[in-house]
Amino acid sequence: MDSTNMLTQEDSAVLKSILMAPNDSLNSQIENSSQLVVDPDSQETNITPEVIDSLSQLVKHKACIIIVGSFINKSNADRMAQKIEENYQLYRGIYGKFNRVGIQF
């Protein structure tokens, strides 16, 4: 195998920090909730989730948003938002060129 395709431990650490770092306001994580597995013989990186017995009080009281649609055309986002607003707490946000619509808990 060509050594240019293999990840070093340093590369794996950098990759893990990128994968685990929040990249927008909707990303969050539970400390130590997953394990990064890097297979040096393939191009794949797998994150294996762990079962957690209970949630900390800090996590239990965090807000949660489920994105149900992401639209380039704002009028499509408006239509989806109207349907959601009838029964749920609406979330609207912009991510890049997309208009996100979601349900907020």
Lowest mean pLDDT among 17-26, 36-45, 50-59: 17-26
pTM over cut 0.85: no
What pLDDT score was predicted for residue 38? Answer: 56
What is the band of 64 on the pLDDT scale with cuts at 50, 70, 90? confident
What is the torsional sign of CA 33, 59, 64, 31?
A: negative
The answer to the question of residue 30 being in a domain is yes
Q: Let me know whether 11 and 49 are in one domain.
A: yes
Give the separation between CA 20 and CA 39, rounded to whole angstroms: 18
* Residue-number span of the structural domain to which 78 is assigned: 65-104
Question: Could you report how far apart the first and last alpha carbons of the chain are, in Å?
Answer: 49
Q: Let me know whether 25 and 48 are in one domain.
A: yes
Q: Let me know whether 50 and 71 are in one domain.
A: no
* Average pLDDT of span 91-101: 94
Q: Which two tokens stand for residue 18?
A: 């990128």
Give the separation between CA 87 and CA 99, rounded to whole angstroms: 20
